[in-house]
Structure 1
Amino acid sequence: MNKKCTLCPRKCGVDRDEALGVCQVSSTVKVARAALHFWEEPCISGENGSGAVFFSGCPLHCVFCQNEEISHGKVGKEITTEELANIYLHLQKQGANNINLVTGTHYIPEIVESVNHAREQGLSIPIIYNTSGYETVESLKLLEGVVNVYLPDFKYWDEALASQYSHAKDYPDVVKSAIVEMVRQVGEPEFNEEGFIQSGVIVRQLLLPGHTRDSKAILKYLHETFENRIYVSLMSQYTPMPHIAEKYPELNRRVTKREYEAVVGYALDLGIENAFIQDRKVAKESFIPKFGNEIL
């Protein structure tokens, strides 16, 4: 059996039973936090919260990552797929509106197994796949029929920015193909009577300081390609972490009101109707979850 991992676009080919992949974790599921989460879009969190499961490790490793402890696999608890399924069921029992799987690219086979097992045991709330957008179409196809809602980022339009800040020059092309596949699988957004999303795609766009032009290019592409078959979430929450100042001084500030309003205004001018706009007050460190606790 070929154990060389090719789940993410890095295709590092590591046998993760024997060594760590680019994602910085082994093949054993490692979870950094599992708890009700209240800081997602309103149609995801609501008052009861989203049942968020933060997986350790990440294939992308953005230089401005707010969750570096988790993305580098430094914190977390190793669990079995059965234990993962039980976490979903516990979160459902707590009143979660959905199960929100955060950065699970490198655990896609285990996610499929755990969701199927949990559904056999009575899991009935939607499954959200919360991702950087850096996904292969081949891996996403494994999630068809398992995931109800896709929540990808679209971080960069410019290959140079993708290379500089995520060492992934191919990011723009990869995420375009990924979103096409996501829309193919789950179709247009559908909401229940309470206004919570049950299926569909919400694309998040995090505005970086000084890069309104890049954000506008992404919005133009999304609108021209998908029109109102998706939602977009315009995020102003970028928060510079302490390590960013030395190597990337241009990112060592928050987004200004003028920058964010320029992007929102552009979205309106394009005719984008399905959009979430973020209160700039959320750009605070207090909105970054503390990892290594609340494992169920």
Structure 2
Amino acid sequence: MGNRTPAYMEAARSGELARRARWANSQLQDCTLCPWQCHVNRSAGKVGQCRSGAQARVYAFMAHHGEENPLRGSKGSGTIFFAGCNMHCQFCQNADISQDNRGILVDDQQLAQMMLDLQAQGCHNINLVSPTHVLPQILSALVPAAREGLTLPLVYNTGGYDSLESLQILDGIVDIYLPDMKYTDAAIAQKYSGIPDYPRLNQSAVKEMHRQVGDLQLDEKGLAVRGLLVRHLLLPDDLAGTRELMQFLAAEISTNTYVNIMDQYKPDYHARDFPELFRLVTRAEVRRAKDWAREAGLTRLE
């Protein structure tokens, strides 16, 4: 495939990136950036479901060697972990970050410098973890980062509860979308994450992501340069609706969709309050999930 210029570079040169950053920041005064539509004035310090205000809060940033093969390569994915989340998963493995909101507040220039530092370390991309609620801050930081020499692909690593309006603001800016697809059943989504409309909105969001960037494209070294990469965490007793999800991806996205079927579930956070969640997934469940993916016609599995 060869190397590819990151999408945001042209938007930065033309001034479009700065324009979109200004628009996104204006939304903080009456926040509707995600499907919760909280309508709080985050600019004045009010918080909604994500418990985040006017500034982004960063838990950590580092070269991450545990991501998918096309992201981590040999030098790691340049990962920025944002505190807070617009989801409330009862089994969250990073609840200290997502629910307890641990981290330091950063301004736009500090966030831009983190991106540049990760590039200087040799990372292959900038991997924004839980970015949905800090979209304005990310765009604002990307303006000086691009001006000061950032040239790495941008990875939008989201829990998948994203609005179409916010995703459309990212069209031509994000290179690689990395959404979770957690559930296919609305009642299950309500029970374990408090979001009954997750399956419908998640699937609409993934369709929009794929419309923007297409199937995952790799360079000559096998590194991701553009496209969609889907994550799906297996839950015990197929509570996540894996078979239906694989059928959706094959039929409505692409049989060439790159899917990471994740087997690392463990009963963290409040999972002990749900007996059906209080165990690991079995090897047989993992094999069955991958069989379902192949039966649906998907071939790019990790």
Structure 1 length-normalised TM: 0.90
Unaligned runs of 5+ in 2: 1-25
Structure 1 residues 95 and 256: alpha-carbon distance in aligned structure 2, compared to 1, 3 A threshold:
same
What is the DSSP-based 3-state SS (H/G/I as helix, E as strand, rest coil) of the residue aligned with 1:176?
A: helix
- What does residue 123 of structure 2 align with? 96
**Aligned match for 1:109, one of 115, 125, 136:** 136
User: Within the alignment, does 1:187 sit opposite 2:214 as a pair?
Assistant: yes
Residue 263, structure 1, aligned to residue 289, structure 2: yes
2:121, 2:163 → 1: CA distance? Answer: 33
**Structure 2 residue 137 is the aligned partner of structure 1 residue 121:** no
Residue in 1 that maps onto 2:56:
29
Tell me, yes or no, if the aligned pair for 1:55 and 1:101 is still in contact at 8 Å: yes
Letter in structure 2 aligned against 1:84: L
Gaps of 5+ in 1: 277-296
Q: Distance in 1 between matches of 2:76 and 2:51?
A: 29
Indicate the residue corresponding to 1:11 in structure 2.
37
Q: Which residue of 1 aligns with 2:6?
A: none
CA deviation after TM superposition for structure 1 residue 149, in Å: 0.1
What amino acid does structure 2 have at the position aligned with 1:51?
Answer: G
Tell me what 1:175 maps to. Answer: 202
**Conserved 8 A contact 1:112-1:142:** no
- Pair 1:41–1:213, CA change in 2 (3 A): closer
Give me the whole-angstrom Cα distance separating, in 2, the residues matched to 1:110 and 1:212. Answer: 35
Residue 142 (structure 1) aligned to one of 142, 146, 169: 169
Deviates more, 1:17-26 or 1:147-156: 17-26
Tell me if the contact between 1:24 and 1:73 (Cα under 8 Å) persists in the aligned partners: no
| Alignment partners' CA distance in 2, 1:213 and 1:172 | 10
The farther-off stretch of 17-26 and 132-141 is 17-26
Give the match for residue 279 of structure 2. 253
Show CA shifts across 1:183-213 (max 9, x none).
Answer: 1111222111110000000111111011167
2:293 is matched by which residue type in structure 1? A
Answer whether contact 2:92 2:269 (CA < 8 A) is retained: no
SS in 2 for 1:75: coil
Once the two structures are aligned, what percentage of the paired residues are identical? 40
8 Å CA contact retained: 1:187, 1:229: no
Could you list the runs of 4 or more consecutive aligned residues of structure 1 that deviate by over 4 angstroms after TM superposition?
Answer: none
Distance in 2 between residues matched to 1:228 and 1:39, nearest whole Å: 25
Query: For residue 280 of structure 1, what is the aligned residue in structure 2?
Result: none
Residue pair 2:63, 2:78 contacting (<8 A) in 1 also:
yes
Match among 174, 178, 190 for residue 151 of structure 1:
178
Alpha-carbon spacing, 1:127–1:7, altered in 2? closer, same or farther (3 Å):
same
1:120 shift after superposition: 1.4
Contact 2:210 2:228 in 1 (8 A): yes
- What letter matches 2:138 in structure 1? I
Q: Corresponding residue for 1:286?
A: none
For structure 1, which segment, 260-269 or 226-235, has the greater mean C-alpha deviation from structure 2 after superposition?
226-235
TM-score (norm 2): 0.88
Query: Where does residue 207 of structure 1 map in the other structure?
Result: 234
Partner of 2:300: 274
What count of residue pairs does the alignment treat as equivalent? Answer: 275
Matched residue, 2:3: none
Give, as a single letter, the amino acid of the residue that structure 2 aligns with 1:254. L
